[in-house]
Structure 1
Amino acid sequence: MVTFFVFCFFSKIMTERLLIKALSGGKNTKIITLNGKKITKMPSALGKLPGLKTLALQNNLIPKVCPELCNLTQLTTLNLGNNLLEEVPEEMKYLVSLKNLHLAGNRICRFAPGACDGLQNLILLNLNNNHLTQLPQEVNRLKSLTHMSINFNQLASIPRELCFLKNLSELQLNYNELKCIPEEIKFLKKLQKLLLARNNIGVLPKELCDLKKLRILDIAGNIIRIFPSGFQDLKLREFYCEGNPLFLQWPEIAKQQENVWSLQEITSRFVINHPAENNPFLMDAMEWYPEIRRIISQRKTCAVCGQYFITTWLECVQFVPPPKAWKISKNLQLVPVRALVCSYKCFTQRDPNLFGIARV
């Protein structure tokens, strides 16, 4: 214990000397590094260095930031990793030039109100190894963000607002408690790397297939059984899915069922399979009855005949070989992809790699 206090005493002296040296440089001081100094309080003297560009204070014992941090409006990199912070502090909103923010290895469980307000130039946000259970809606204010890493937290969901960060190219959410991915993920048009390993995700949204620039996808260790239709068309370079209970190719005989459709289904199939521009009556009906447009918007495509329909006769799984360009998990020989069939007639004419999914 005595040794520890002696170490802390000398660390404090060294810290003060480093600060004095930095202050002697005045406005010309650009970088301060005080890593692993057992600092228990962020030095208020930092407020006298408005021209500071980089501040590294990781591996200390800092529980909160000092108010003077607000003066560092030219700061571009701040590293407070491995400290004792319990929130993303409100003072962050004053760091209008900040591009890189490292807060990994703290005890962060919340964002202070307004913390995201001024971070319009933030490019990288690292919140790994914290205690976050949710993200605030205000995360959508990080307009310039390209890299977000929130591995090893306790997130139960992703706010749809996160999906409006149009510049995001890398999103890491490994080792959380996620159960689903919002369909708004389709708006992350620049996303190239998505890591979702070791969560509780059971279904991937079909909108994931809209991510044309996605190159790396890791969903290992979830509870996914089947992938959305069109998944095999993604231009991935790396795909990892080990540890999921994927459907395996196991043929079963399907019992014949009569095709009994409601009048709404019959009408809907007629409307959506006959373009309105060729039928003035249908065009007028869709204009005057919004309900018709709503029903049509829910249309699906039969995997066999290619016709549109509303009510699914049978949900199927189609086994397709992974594209040769994909670097894949070991033992992944066939990718189970969701497919829908509109009638028994189509089911009897299906491809030999298309199987009905038995519901227990």
Structure 2
Amino acid sequence: MCCWRSTEIRRAQCTFPNVFTGNSIKMTAALLLPVLKSQPKSVNLSHKGLKKVPKAIGQLRNVLHLELQGNKIKTLPAEFGYLVQLEYLNVGKNELEELPEALAECTGLIKLHVFANHLRTLKPNVLVNFKLMTHLNLNNNQLVTLPAEMRWLVNLQYLSMDHNYLEELPCDLCGLRNLTELHVAYNRLNSLPLEFGYLFNLQVLYLQKNRLKELPESLGKCYNLRMLDISANELRIFPTEFNSLPLKELYCEENPLLQHVPIHSVQEEEVLSLKEVAARFVMKERKDRWSLIRKNIEHYPAISEMLSQSSKCALCSESFLNTWLECVQFLEPCKTIRTNKAADVIPVRALLCSYKCFNAPGHRFYGVAFP
């Protein structure tokens, strides 16, 4: 089916001569008239100086592939919504300030390119209809925020938003379980959602040239991540499970990464809060299959939920709740990972449960000292 369709597109492609001027909408409509008889699968109106798309475009009911790149288009006519079979649309390098309402009717869109426009917002009522979309290119626009309705793009595999003004990503974006490639370089991101690890199919991630000071701990759950570019940010340390990622490429130059400069320090054992002591005791009892606490804890869902937020000591593997020592270990990237020279040694966060573990001999965890 797919092979037949692509052959049909090549056979029926219609490209117009480059004879348009900025105010030649009547000429454009006139040239569309003979095309209406042949009903081509593919139409190319790129780089024609168009300020408007003629209403006659709505009569191309069989078009699957439409190119409108490099014009001066500011909106699309309502008749554009009649293109219900449209699968590919390129309106890059135009003057759109928002996603036209007419696109809401194009529910069959699979690939949409809206790069190099003047988009400031994404209309939620348009986005919710793109349930079949797999590729979305929003590069070089003026986006500051993204709507929560991004979560409705359930089949999205490729999302690119380089060169915008995004300061954060909505947690709803992390619900795009089919996303394999995400580009958010050259923005103003200060952080990533804590739920980022739900993007477990993500393979390629571009985050260079932002303002990120840290990566979420959940990044270690992106078990398919192969390529990460985090260069030119404000990163000092990588999250705890970073070394478990199956990376093949890592780029992290131009970050103020922690340096390995050991100084001697011995700390006294701290006094834990009653809540922390009780939580550690309960979590230890839960490991004992004969423990009464293990058998009865299921009757206290609130406590179980609280304990689910616990972590394990990187040294002794005992669980802790809210009190820990943040340390760092300096790891050499796997020899199979392609890196830049700045990534010869990577500082990775490690959490220890107590000063007792920290003061124990023989480990390679270091306390973090800030100037």
TM-score (norm 2): 0.89
Alignment equivalent of 1:328, drawn from 339, 345, 360: 339
Q: Is the 8 A contact 2:23 2:50 kept in 1?
A: no
Secondary structure of 1:161's aligned partner: helix
The 5-angstrom pairing of residues 119-158 of structure 1 reads 119-158=130-169
Q: 1:103 aligns with which of 105, 114, 134?
A: 114
Q: Secondary structure at the match of 1:40?
A: coil
Q: Does 1:228 align with 2:239?
A: yes
Q: Which residue of 2 aligns with 1:42?
A: 53
Partner secondary structure for residue 240 of structure 2: coil
Query: Counterparts of 2:244 and 2:123 in 1: how far apart (Å)?
Result: 41
> What is the alpha-carbon distance in structure 1 between the residues aligned to residue 241 and residue 170 of structure 2?
25
Distance 1:266 1:352, change over 3 A: closer
Q: 1:3 — aligned with what?
A: none
Query: 1:155 aligns to what SS in structure 2?
Result: coil
Aligned 1:139-218 pairs, distance under 5 A: 139-218=150-229
Distance 1:255 1:349 in 2: 10
Letter in 2 for 1:20: L
- What is the CA distance between 1:266 and its match in structure 2? 2.3
User: What code does the residue aligned with 1:34 have?
Assistant: L
**Counterpart in 2 of 1:256?**
267
Corresponding letter in the other structure for 1:215: R
Q: Which secondary structure state, in structure 2, belongs to the residue aligned with residue 278 of structure 1? A: coil
Tell me if the contact between 2:22 and 2:51 (Cα under 8 Å) persists in the aligned partners. Answer: no
Hey, what does 2:16 align to over in structure 1? none
Q: Distance in 2 between matches of 1:213 and 1:20?
A: 50
Q: Which residue in 2 is equivalent to 1:21?
A: 34
Residues in 2 aligned to 1:11 and 1:37: alpha-carbon distance in whole angstroms: 10
C-alpha separation between the residues in 2 aligned to 1:272 and 1:337?
26
Letter in 1 for 2:37: S
Find 2:125's aligned residue among 114, 127, 147. Answer: 114
Q: What is the aligned residue count?
A: 353
- Classify 1:103/1:351 alpha carbon distance in 2 versus 1 (closer, same or farther; 3 Å): farther
Amino acid at match of 2:234: I
Q: Contact (CA 8 Å) 1:146, 1:169: kept in 2 or not?
A: yes
Residues 179-233 of structure 1: CA deviation (Å, up to 9, x unaligned): 1111222222211111111111111111111111111111111111111112011
Cα separation, partners in 2 of 1:234 and 1:313, compared to 1, 3 Å: closer
Do residues 83 (structure 1) and 89 (structure 2) align?
Answer: no
TM-superposed deviation, 1:258: 2.9
**Secondary structure of 1:293's aligned partner:** helix
- Measured against aligned partners, the alpha-carbon deviations of 1:87-132 in whole angstroms (never above 9, x if no partner) come to 0122212112211111000000112241013212111110000011
Listed as ranges, the matches of 1:247-286 within 5 Å are: 247-275=258-286, 278-283=289-294, 286=297
Q: 1:350 to 1:145 in 2, by over 3 A?
A: farther
Confirm whether residue 339 of structure 1 aligns to residue 339 of structure 2.
Answer: no
1:194–1:218 Cα contact (<8 Å) kept: yes
Shift, 1:14, TM fit: 6.2
Give the structure 1 partner of residue 6 of structure 2. Answer: none
CA distances 1:115-161 after superposition (whole Å, capped 9, x unpaired): 01321211111000001111111111112111111110011111111
State the match for 2:41 in structure 1.
Answer: 30
Q: Distance in 2 between matches of 1:349 and 1:129?
A: 52
Which residue number in structure 1 is paired with residue 3 of structure 2?
none
Q: Is the 8 A contact 2:188 2:211 kept in 1?
A: yes
Q: Which amino acid aligns with 1:171?
A: L
Separation (CA, whole Å) in 1 of partners of 2:314 and 2:294: 27
- Report the AA paired with residue 187 of structure 2: N
Structure 2: unaligned runs, 5 residues or longer: 1-18
C-alpha distance in structure 1 between counterparts of 2:279 and 2:65, whole Å: 62
Over aligned residues, Cα RMSD in angstroms? 2.1
Instruction: Normalising by structure 1, report the TM-score.
Output: 0.92
In 2, distance between residues paired with 1:9 and 1:341?
Answer: 66
CA distance in structure 2 between the aligned counterparts of 1:135 and 1:154, rounded to whole angstroms: 11
Percent of aligned pairs with the same residue?
40
Q: Distance in 2 between matches of 1:350 and 1:131?
A: 54
Deviation at 1:57, TM superposition (A): 0.8
Tell me the residue number matched to 2:74: 63
Distance 1:295 1:55, change over 3 A: closer
- Cα deviation, residue 297, structure 1: 2.0
